[in-house]
Amino acid sequence: MVTNITNLGRSGLSDWLLQRASAIVLALYSLFLVGYLLLNPGLDYATWSGLFAQTWMRIFSLLAFVSLAAHAWVGLWTVTTDYLKPTGIRVATQFIIILAIFVFLVWGIQVLWGA
Amino acid sequence: MSNMRSLTFDAIIIGGGGSGMRAALELAKSGKKTAVLTKVFPTRSHTVSAQGGITCAIASSDPDDDWRWHMYDTVKGGDYITDQEAAEYMCSEGPKAVFELEHMGLPFSRFDNGRIYQRPFGGQSKNFGEGGQAARTCAAADRTGHALLHTLYQNNLKNNTTFLNEWYAIDLVKNANGDVVGCIAMDIESGEVVHIKSKATVLATGGSGRIYASTTNALINTGDGIGMALRAGFPMQDMEMWQFHPTGIYGAGTLVTEGCRGEGGYLINKDGERFMERYAPNAKDLAGRDVVARSMVMEILEGRGCGEKGDHVYLKLDHLGEEVLSKRLPGIVELSKTFAHADPVKEPIPVVPTCHYMMGGVPTNVHGQAIMQDEQGNDRIVNGLFAVGEAACVSVHGANRLGGNSLLDLVVFGRAAGMFIESALNEGVDYLEASQDDIDAAMQRINRWNESSDGESVPELKRALQEIMQSDFGVFREEENMQKGVQQLAELRERIANAYLPDKSNAFNTARVEALELDNLMEVAEATAIAALDRKESRGAHSRYDYPDRDDANWLKHSMYFPLEKRLGQRDVNFAPKSVDMFEPKVRTY
Amino acid sequence: MSMLQVSLYRYNPETDTAPYMEEFQIDTQGRDIMVLDVLHMAKERDSSLAFRRSCREGVCGSDGMNMNGKNGLACITPLSEVVKKGKLTLRPLPGLPVIRDLVVDMGLFYKQYERIQPYLQNDTPAPAIERLQSPEDRDKLDGLYECILCACCSTSCPSFWWNPEKFVGPAGLLQAYRFLADSRDEATRERLAELEDPFSVFRCRGIMNCVAVCPKGLNPTRAIGKIREMLLANAT
């Protein structure tokens, strides 16, 4: 057993499962948005913001954002552990990635529920 | 070299093949300070190439099978110079050793009832030759040696055996009393030469098929243990007895298991005739290996060989069908495609008798203790020296080994030696330490190579040696050729003594290893040649045109080759099994 | 005369500060010999050339090396299979430290093999005969136990190159599954617990170089998939 403390689920299995589950959510969300855009060719701001005013859409979007955050972290964490061998650089990069993901997530929530 | 490092062990096992690792496992479990010293990583040892199986009366294919029948076959197969006490020990202890292997995880093939799969092999019978063909060879497809060797390595890992991997033993160290108290060895990776002190030194160095130009043996089979023991002055037993396996792939020498014939394959000549029916009407293609090999050579000599030059025969397997071949003989299909460019599912494999196994070796008792003779010709134990496996001549194979008996030999006698050494160490062993002179004596050879400045090259001399052995000491032998061969070998020894090692570097110097191996090949070849010349009869694998018959009056004996005088003596065969009546020598037919 | 242009990776730690490629012209007399035969011919010319070899029939796993860019066993690779435009380039297995010429230090590879406890574990007292196993259960070991530890797979695996200390690698994982799949083994739970971290198994990204190079035609990727299935079944 290789010990590590910086990956998301502390277990490779949970990371692996999360990666796949989040991928499904992201795929569904993307399909939904593409379908919506195709079915509404003359889309205007009112319709678009109307869609996001509905609670179910806000929850669905939040789920997609959280999935994206998890998916990105698992993926980028893997990349950093593959290619960044000096510990200092690796940890610093991981910190920056976490910070960015956190900012984007908070920003997303703010967009959904703010104003 | 006074600053030479030394390592101390209770027991050092030289060789990491089946017998060495089985002995090591026993000793590792006992907690004795043991190391396996091996010139290749253990799973690269030649045991890995064994295909067909391990013969043993575990009563799986036939619930009535009896180890005594196996013993009878073994004694008859060895043309009656098999030591019957040793054969009794191997055949009766065998089931225990095989079940142990299974318990360790060896992935044997299975019958529908879940028991170990057994297949027929050559020379096997039920009811002391009266009950027809037996199926007694336990198999893991056609990769039994591989499965066995990996299982043993894995269990040695489990028991924390110390391995000195890629170390090469150079020579034995004897003390002033002539006891063996260790060896000189080289760490191949660094080139460092080390003095290894040990209360028990086990030669598990395998065979030496590389004395012949054409052999099924791995490139590493250079008789290192035999060479070391001969240089230390110890005698060798039955060195004239070399098995030529009937089915080596023509041109490549790669082995094709006897299991092919066990599964129903047979040999044909250029007319498509199943010629073994003429030579061995009962057992046919499953007669003893020596019988089949001779029959093949007769066919070739009488002009019925196959191919453009008429110098081989065919092994026919296509009638067995693709399913049997892929299930029972998958490795053979692979080897044949690679080395014979023949797909056995569709066409026969070109085969020719090829040097395969050394029945002779260091004479030992069933505990693996090496034996020498005193001046009156009585057996005397060599203190501190043991031998197991192909390097030993215990002798369960006599003048001809049965297929599947070598893997059994490895595990039974590896185990026996391990157990004996453990109890001997418990009782306390105390030998005189080696003096600086004793160590210097063992260093002579490597020093000679390291100081060489000019002379013939190693590959050239090796080729010369192999050609002499191939042409004068093959399947059929004859006085005049052998005399010429012995003479040529004597000259070759002089040339090797002046040969040149150009590369004197230290790190992973394989040229140095090959030079040291050449000395060993020379020792083995000369012992073989002199023993073959002097055994004036035909018995088992030793077949002479000039003495075509077995001569029990003079030669129902082991030969003993004494290296210091280069003289051939004799040693009595053991006819005293403990729990059964001995088997009287009979005319050997199949 | 049919000359083969052979380019050999050379490095002797005692005399060379850096590795270099050495060119040999080898006369194959037009025969389709094995790469190992070519190496023997080169060694006759320059005895200082170092490479490992033993069985010369593809079962001992000594002579794994990189031949014209692809890992394989020199002894069972005929020239017709690898030579391109009359040229053969031989390098040591990638990703492991070179000891000398084509000889690599396989320590890391063996360490990963040992880590998976490659031996049967069964604490139930053994019967007087063998443990029974149905042919169907035994069939599950086919394609697994045949591994010869040549390291062709692990040293062609980028995940193993990047994390040789942490990722077990295809060879080790194939053996891990060999024991997980054995009906006689009782340590399934303990074995799985050792493998569930993010590196040991999960660093496999399904690149499948291992499958492409295995000289015995084995499929480590499939075995890794089976281990993942077992982990999932065990933990959910």
Tens of pLDDT along chain A (115 residues)?
A: 787 777 777 789 999 999 999 999 999 999 999 999 999 988 999 999 999 999 999 999 999 999 999 999 999 999 999 999 999 999 999 999 999 999 999 999 999 988 5
Our separate counts of H helices and E strands in chain C read 9, 7
Residue B2's pLDDT band (boundaries 50, 70, 90)?
A: low
Nearest by CB to B219, which of C53, C58, C130? Answer: C53
Q: Looking at residue A8, what is its pLDDT?
A: 76
**How is domain C107-235 classified at the architecture level of CATH?**
Orthogonal Bundle (1.10)
For B339-360, what is the mean pLDDT? 96
Q: What percent of chain C has pLDDT over 90?
A: 97
Q: Does A3 touch chain C (CB under 8 A)?
A: yes
Residue C225 has pLDDT above 60, yes or no: yes
Chain centroid offset of residue B91 CA: 18
Q: Please tell me which residue in B231, B261, B289, B571 is annotated as part of the active site.
A: B289
The residue to which tokens 């997303």 are assigned: A108
Cβ pairs bridging B and C (under 8 Å): 153
Residue C2's pLDDT band (boundaries 50, 70, 90)?
A: confident
Cα(B84)–Cα(B577) distance, integer angstroms: 5
Chain centroid offset of residue C5 CA: 27
Q: Which of C8, C1, C108 has its CA nearest to residue C48?
A: C8
CB contact under 8 A, B110 and C133: yes
Record the tokens describing residue C57, joined without a space: 């029939």
**Phi, psi (5° rounding) for residue B498?**
-115, 15
Q: What percent of chain B has pLDDT over 70?
A: 100
The residue to which tokens 């340590």 are assigned: C187
Q: How far is CA C144 from CA B211, B394, C148, C196, in A?
A: 35, 36, 10, 21
Q: Looking at residue A3, what is its pLDDT?
A: 79
Strand, coil or helix: what is B496? helix
Mutation site for A-interface testing, chosen from C157, C189, C199 by largest number of A Cβ within 10 Å = C199
- The answer to whether B304 is a known catalytic residue is no
Our CA-based measurement puts residue B114 at a distance from the nearest CA of chain C, in whole angstroms, of: 4
Q: What is the largest CA-CA distance in chain C?
A: 66
Cα(C6)–Cα(C25) distance, integer angstroms: 6
Nearest by CB to C135, which of B110, B458, B459? Answer: B110
Q: Looking at residue B541, what is its pLDDT?
A: 97
Q: Which of C166, C165, C177, C171 has its CA nearest to residue C151?
A: C171
Question: Which helix (DSSP H) or strand (DSSP E) does residue B201 occupy?
Answer: strand B193-203
CATH of C3-104, one of 1.25.40.10, 3.10.20.30, 3.30.530.20, 3.30.70.330: 3.10.20.30
**pLDDT one-digit tens code per residue, B91-150:** 999 999 999 999 999 999 999 999 999 999 999 999 999 999 999 999 999 999 999 999
Q: DSSP 3-state helix, strand, coil percentages of chain C (rounded to 5)?
A: 35, 15, 50
Going edge to edge, which strands form the sheet with B266-268?
Answer: B242-249, B349-358, B313-316, B266-268
Q: Looking at residue A113, what is its pLDDT?
A: 86
User: The pTM is what?
Assistant: 0.96
Our CA-based measurement puts residue A1 at a distance from the nearest CA of chain C, in whole angstroms, of: 4
CB contact under 8 A, C194 and A12: no
For B375-403, what is the mean pLDDT? 97
Residue B90 near residue B396, CB atoms below 8 Å? yes
Q: Which residue of A has its CA nearest to C158?
A: A82
Is the previous residue joined to C54 through a cis bond, with omega within 30 degrees of 0? no
Q: Looking at residue A115, what is its pLDDT?
A: 57
Say whether the C–A interface has 3 or more Cβ pairs within 8 Å.
yes
Q: Which residue of C has its CA nearest to A17?
A: C232
Question: For the CA atoms of B363, B369, B374, B378, what is the dihedral angle to 10 degrees?
Answer: -80
Chains in contact with B, where contact requires at least 3 CB pairs less than 8 Å apart: C
CB contact under 8 A, C202 and A17: no
Q: Does C30 touch chain A (CB under 8 A)?
A: no
Q: What percent of chain B has pLDDT over 90?
A: 99
Q: Which residue of C has its CA nearest to B41?
A: C62
CB contact under 8 A, C197 and A11: yes
Residue B327 has pLDDT above 70, yes or no: yes
* C-alpha distance across the termini of chain B, in Å: 58
Q: Looking at residue C101, what is its pLDDT?
A: 98
Q: Looking at residue A5, what is its pLDDT?
A: 77
Q: Does C208 touch chain B (CB under 8 A)?
A: no
Ranges of each domain in chain A: 12-113
Residue B292 has pLDDT above 60, yes or no: yes
Q: Assign domain A12-113 to a CATH class.
A: mainly alpha
Residue B540 has pLDDT above 80, yes or no: yes
Residue C1's pLDDT band (boundaries 50, 70, 90)?
A: low
Record the tokens describing residue B147, joined without a space: 């499965």
For B255-264, what is the mean pLDDT? 95
Ranges of each domain in chain C: 3-104, 107-235
Q: Which of B104, B150, A19, B100 has its CA nearest to residue C174?
A: B150
Cα(C92)–Cα(C111) distance, integer angstroms: 19
Q: Which residue of C has its CA nearest to A13?
A: C196
Q: Looking at residue B455, what is its pLDDT?
A: 95
Q: Which of B508, B514, B504 has its CA nearest to residue B465?
A: B514
Record the tokens describing residue B497, joined without a space: 């003594």
**pLDDT one-digit tens code per residue, B145-183:** 999 999 999 999 999 999 999 999 999 999 999 999 999
Q: Which of C10, C12, C30, C33 has its CA nearest to residue C20?
A: C10
All residues of chain B having their beta carbon less than 8 Å from the beta carbon of residue C44 are: 457, 459
All residues of chain C having their beta carbon less than 8 Å from the beta carbon of residue A2 are: 166, 197-200
Q: Looking at residue B557, what is its pLDDT?
A: 98
Record the tokens describing residue C158, joined without a space: 């980028």
For C7-25, what is the mean pLDDT? 97
CB contact under 8 A, A13 and C162: no
Q: Does C19 touch chain B (CB under 8 A)?
A: no
The residue to which tokens 């050394």 are assigned: B358
Residue B543 has pLDDT above 70, yes or no: yes
Q: Looking at residue B3, what is its pLDDT?
A: 77
Strand, coil or helix: what is B139? coil
**Phi, psi (5° rounding) for residue C232?**
-65, -45
Here the ipTM equals 0.98
Residue B1 has pLDDT above 60, yes or no: no
Residue B75 has pLDDT above 80, yes or no: yes
Record the tokens describing residue B272, joined without a space: 């498509």
For C84-98, what is the mean pLDDT? 96
A6, burial (CB in 10 Å: exposed 0-12, middle 13-18, buried 19+): middle
For C77-101, what is the mean pLDDT? 96
Record the tokens describing residue B194, joined without a space: 């080390």
Residue C19 has pLDDT above 80, yes or no: yes
Strand, coil or helix: what is B350? strand
CB atoms within 10 A of CB A53: 11
Q: Which residue of C has its CA nearest to B59?
A: C129
Q: What is the mean pLDDT of chain B?
A: 96
Our CA-based measurement puts residue C117 at a distance from the nearest CA of chain A, in whole angstroms, of: 12
**pLDDT one-digit tens code per residue, C187-216:** 999 999 999 999 999 999 999 999 999 999
Residue B535 near residue B559, CB atoms below 8 Å? yes
Residue B121 near residue B53, CB atoms below 8 Å? yes
Strand, coil or helix: what is C88? strand
Q: Which residues contact B423 (CB under 8 A, 6 or more apart)?
A: none
**pLDDT one-digit tens code per residue, B266-289:** 999 999 999 999 999 999 999 999
